[in-house]
Amino acid sequence: MHLLTDTLSWFFLLSGGLAVMIGSLGLLRFPDFYTRLHAAGITDSFGTAAILVGLAFQAGLTLVTVKLLLITVFILLTSPTSTHALAKSALHGQLKPLLKEDGGASSNT
């Protein structure tokens, strides 16, 4: 039983760490602001949830797990809200999105 939870914990922690790294890499690589929002979305949705669930497997059924789940739920609720607020204010600020007609794949940022 202990081995099983340890393995699951490993799996979630490592895949979460990988997702966080990929998300940040995308934040650096993508060509314009609106596409970078998607990269940040990976970090916020999957990376965070996976790392916190991985920690919860280490903690077992205690109040610590409850706190971890509360943090997870809170981040999953607030990160779309702040992403939406960012996108909306960028739209109001007349920031033009890069569309596929412009060629898409460019790396000259």
Partner 1 sequence: MKGIISLFITLSVIWLLLSGHTNPLLLSLGLASVILTVIIDHRMDVVDQEGNRISYPPRLITYIPWLAWETIKSNITVAKLILDPKMPIRPNIFTVKASQPGELGKTIYANSITLTPGTVSMSVDGDEILVHAIDQGTADDLLTGEMDRRVTRISGEH
Partner 2 sequence: MFTAALFAVAVAMILCLLRMLLGPTVYDRILALNSFGTKTVLTIAIAGFLMGRPDFLDIALVYALINFIGTIAILKFFEYGTLGDESLEESE
Per CB under 8 A, residues contacting partner 2 are: 9-10, 13-14, 16-18, 20-21, 23-25, 27-28, 33, 36-37, 40, 43-44, 47-48, 51-52, 54-55, 58-59, 64, 67-68, 70-71, 74-75, 78-79, 81-82, 85-86, 89-90, 92-93, 95, 109
- DSSP codes joined into one string, 48-99: HHHHHHHHHHHH-SSHHHHHHHHHHHHHHHHHHHHHHHHHHHHHHTTPPPP-
Q: Which does 80 bind (CB under 5 to 8 A by kind): partner 2, partner 1, none?
A: partner 1
Q: How far is the CB of 105 from partner 2 (least distance, A)?
A: 18
Among 11, 34, 58, 59, binds partner 1 (CB under 8 A): 34
Q: How many CA atoms lie within 13 A of 63 on its CB side?
A: 0
Burial of 61 (0-12, 13-18, 19+ CB in 10 A): exposed
As given in the structure block, the two tokens for residue 3 are 């081995």
Q: Which does 85 bind (CB under 5 to 8 A by kind): partner 1, partner 2, none?
A: partner 2
